[in-house]
Every structure is written in structure tokens, then in C-alpha cells.
Structure 1
Amino acid sequence: MTDTTTTASPTAMAPATEGRRVSPRVAVLISETRLFFREPANLFWIIVFPSLILVILGCVPMFREENDDLGGLRLIDIYVPIAVLVAQIVAGIQAMPPTLTGYRERGILRRMSTTPARPSTLLAVQMLLNSALAVLSALLVITVGRLVFSVDLPSHVGGYAVGLLLATAACLATGALVSALASTSRYAAGFASAIFFPALFCVGVWIPVRSMPDTLANVVELTPFGAAASALEQAAAGGWPDWSLLGTLVAWAVVLTAAAIRWFRWE
């Protein structure tokens, strides 16, 4: 992954109003959206990469064969929720922290604190943009799975949506904490990478959670990523996710958010 820190100030990139007033929040949203979509790396890793993983795996014949050990499912069926969560991890942990830390490093957050466009607005906009892209990527993964590999759509749509939203919140909270603790964008990228690969393991990229030994699976499900993987898998199969899994996601999101608020520095 590359460092996707933007090089322009959000306030400097605020759109011209041409005779009409635009609220600071709207101005920051518009300028940050423009900057965000000028970063092709962000778009590739969040939008394209998860679906690309699914297509590559689906091209392996073994992944398209029914497996008795998986209850008659195919490996590609199992990997759709995993690819969905990869998008959340990339957006929350890889894309957001270097950007926010870069703004702080260059004094942009400090300068914004003296304007109507408060730094908290920038943080909220970054979380909104990354979560929206992550959810869009999840929908793309599900669509690719259905159209290309005939993977069934999630049977319990409500449970799937709740699990996905809580997973997104937990990943963004993790990224916010990385942004709070890292002093520079390079440190943020390093911290994010240190979390990224264990997170991929926990969602089951190398070994699906249901195929892990029981002890390992139980430990993994105590992490937000493992809990999210099992919750989405249960909802995809038609059941409401276990409340213990949803509770784990809520607990991690709350604790990590509180820690990020406690230690986040605007300058």
C-alpha cells in the first residue's frame, strides 16, 4: 500500500461560492471529496482490490467446487463476506490514518482551529468518505459474487447490514486511534501496516474462521475483525448474528473511539 496523504489544505481547496454562502461543513465536505477522488490509490485499494481478490480466488477451480466440510458450500461462497470486510479494513486502517496524520503534521488542523471549519469537521468528513467508499465496495463485492460466481445473496439482509455497519464502525475507530497515536504520516502508515495483516488473518483471508481450530477461532472472534467475519457469515446463511459477536463489535467500536478521542491531538 502507498501513503495516500493528500498534499493540499482542505481550507485552501474550498470551492468558490460565486455570490452564495456555503457553510464551512459543506465546504470541507466538497473539498475533501475532490481531494479524495484525486487519489487513485484510495479508489483502487478500497473499491477495486476486494473485488479483485474475489475474482482471482474464483478463478481457482477448487474454490468453485462444493465442499462437504463446509456444509455443501463452496469456498467462494465463504470468501464473499471476507472480501467485504477487506474493504472495511483498507478504508479504516490503511487509507484514513496517513491522511489525517499528514494534515496534523503540516499544521492544517491547527490552522483550521482558527476558522469556522473546525478540525472536528474534517475528521467527521474523512470518516464519512471512507465509510461510504467501504460500503460501496462491499456492495460491489456482493454483486460480483452473485453475477460472476452465482453466490447467493445474504439471506438475512437486516443482520448482514447491522454486522457490516458495526464492522465499519470498528475499523474506522481503529484507524482513528492510529491517527491519534502516530506523530507523522509515515508512522501512521507503519502502524496501519502492523495492524493490517493481522486483521486480514482474523477475517479469514488465509484460513476462514469456520475452518480454524476451535481454540484459535474462539480467540479470533474476540477481535473486531474475527467477530465481524463470523457475524456476516451467519447472516449470509440466513440467521441473525450471535449477540455475542455484535456485542464484541460494539465494545471494540466504543473503546477504540473513546481512546482515539482521549489521545487525538489537533497539532
Structure 2
Amino acid sequence: MNGRVLTESGRVELLLLLREPVTLVFALALPIVNVVVLGGVFGDQPDPTGEVFRGVGGSTYYTPAYISLVAASVGLISVPTQLAGYRERGVLRRMRASGLPVAAVLGAQLAVGLGLAAVGAAVVTAFSFLTNDPAPAEDPVGVVVAFLVGTVALILLGILLGAVLPTARAAQGAGVLLWFVLLILGGAGPPPEVLPDAMGTVGALTPLRPLVLALQDPWFSGSWNPGMLAVLAAIGAVSWALASWRLRRD
């Protein structure tokens, strides 16, 4: 696969993405609204007991948490909707027949998704600091590494969803539903400490919780979370393996 093919595929994917308002709303608008509102409601006074918000203030807690929601929006709504639409319309088969490798399309979706997620994360962070008073990240490099690993993992999970769901509408509906479940249970909405035990257990099994923790640890304490990074890498690797197998059979 040469660079020109990948660049052209990326350009096409970006143009198609900009025509999809649902993805832009979930990737850019909703995380901004949530981080501004929740950060303003809870302020940044740490909980004196240290039992809620992991011992930090609300706006500090929610800034990295809503960065993770941007990655979830791109990975679980944009990517599967686009890929399922390609499969539904027979686009992938025509690409194979024309000699264009499907890997070029998937690589372009990964690159465009990372770019959109990076823009969304930067905008969410900027709005949080402009409207609230979160503590700055103790280890910005650790935050960036966690963001990249987690975003790639969620995009690969989205590719798996796009490879198994039959239509673009089904993929978009499933992605939006999953996004709201992750918002409520994955650690980006109510703090896990205040959830009932059963909901907390389910939330711990969602793919968002490892990313939230992997972002929050270097932000709050300056320490990386190798365990959560390994979980994210495993999610990405398994998703890619299953998606590749499914697309080869398609």
C-alpha cells in the first residue's frame, strides 16, 4: 500500500465524515456541554472524604473523563456506521475488484478518527479550562499516551462492530445506544463510587472504564496505569483480529 493511496483514502473519509452530523455532535458538542455543565455544578473543591471523584474536584475529574467520551464517539459511532454502510452498499467488494486494498480504507478511517478525536479532546480540554478551574495534568505525556492507546483501541472495536452489523442504520443505532451506556456506567457520568454494586460491576467491564482510568491516573497523580493500558491494547488487538476474520469471509 503506497502513501498516495492512503492519503487519497483519508481525504475521502474525511469528506464523508464532515457530512455526518451525528458523529460531529457526539464527538464535539455533547462532551463540551457535559464537561462545562458538570464541571460548573460540582466545581473543583475536592471531596473531603476522598471517597467520590477519586479525591479530586469535579471539574478535574470530568475533564479527562470526557476526553474519553470523544474517543468513544469516534470509535463506536463514526467508524462502524461508515464501515457497515460500505458493506451494505457493496463498496468493499467493488474496491477489491478495482485493486484498492481494503486495508487502505481501514487505515484511512483509523487516521481520520484519530485526527477528529484529537481535535475533540483539545476542544473539550480548552472549554473545561475556560469555564471551570480544573487542576492541570501532572503528567501530560502520560495523558497523551493513554489517549492514543485508548482511541486506537476504540476505533478498532468500532471496525469490529462495522464488520458484523448489517447496515449503517443498525451500526449508528447500536453505537449511540452503547455511547449512552458508557456515559452512565463507564466512569464518565456518575462516579463509580456512587453507583449500585451491580451497575458498578457492569461499568467496570465496559471498554470505557480502562480508558477513563488510564487518562485520570497520569492527570491526577502523574503515574501511568500499565494495567489499564494493557487492557486497552488487548481490546484493540482482539477487535482487529475478529474484524479481519469477519471481513475476509464477507
Is TM more than 0.5 here?
yes
Q: CA RMSD for the aligned pairs? A: 2.5
> What TM-score do you get using the length of structure 2 for normalisation?
0.86
CA distance in 1, matches of 2:247, 2:185: 27
Gaps of 5+ in 2: none
Of the three residues 144, 158, 161, the one matched with 1:161 is 144
Partner of 1:240: 223
Give how far 1:266 is off: 7.9
Partner of 1:8: none
Letter in structure 2 aligned against 1:25? L
Letter in structure 2 aligned against 1:247? A
Give how far 1:87 is off: 0.4
Q: Which moved more, 1:79-88 or 1:182-191?
A: 182-191
CA distance in 2, matches of 1:219, 1:45: 23
CA distance in 1, matches of 2:25, 2:198: 36
Give how far 1:214 is off: 7.9
Q: How many residues align?
A: 245
Partner of 1:205: 188
1:92–1:131 contact (8 Å) kept in structure 2: no
CA distance in 2, matches of 1:252, 1:59: 34
1:167–1:228 contact (8 Å) kept in structure 2: yes
Give how far 1:56 is off: 2.0
Give how far 1:194 is off: 4.2
Of the three residues 23, 30, 43, the one matched with 1:49 is 30
1:88–1:167 contact (8 Å) kept in structure 2: yes
Partner of 1:88: 71
CA distance in 2, matches of 1:158, 1:38: 33
1:179–1:264 contact (8 Å) kept in structure 2: no
> What TM-score do you get using the length of structure 1 for normalisation?
0.81
Of the three residues 38, 45, 49, the one matched with 1:69 is 49
The correspondence of residues 1-267 of structure 1 with structure 2, limited to 5 A, is 23-60=4-41, 62-70=42-50, 73-209=56-192, 211=194, 220-264=203-247
CA distance in 2, matches of 1:266, 1:90: 27
Letter in structure 1 aligned against 2:49? D
CA distance in 2, matches of 1:59, 1:248: 32
Percent identical among aligned pairs is 27
SS of the residue corresponding to residue 98 of structure 2 reads: coil
Give how far 1:48 is off: 2.4
2:185–2:199 contact (8 Å) kept in structure 1: no
Question: Does the C-alpha gap of structure 1 residues 233 and 217 become closer, same or farther in structure 2, counting only changes over 3 Å?
Answer: farther
CA distance in 2, matches of 1:107, 1:258: 22
CA distance in 2, matches of 1:169, 1:23: 22
Give how far 1:215 is off: 8.4
SS of the residue corresponding to residue 128 of structure 1 reads: helix
Partner of 1:6: none
SS of the residue corresponding to residue 23 of structure 1 reads: helix
Question: Does the C-alpha gap of structure 1 residues 47 and 190 become closer, same or farther in structure 2, counting only changes over 3 Å?
Answer: closer
Question: Does the C-alpha gap of structure 1 residues 38 and 25 become closer, same or farther in structure 2, counting only changes over 3 Å?
Answer: same
Q: Between Structure 1 and Structure 2, whose CA radius of gyration is higher?
A: 1
2:182–2:203 contact (8 Å) kept in structure 1: no
Cα deviations by residue, 1:164-221 (Å, 9 ceiling, x for unpaired): 1121122112211111111111222233244323322343233223555788657644
CA distance in 2, matches of 1:219, 1:105: 32
Tell me which protein shows more helix as a share of its residues: 2
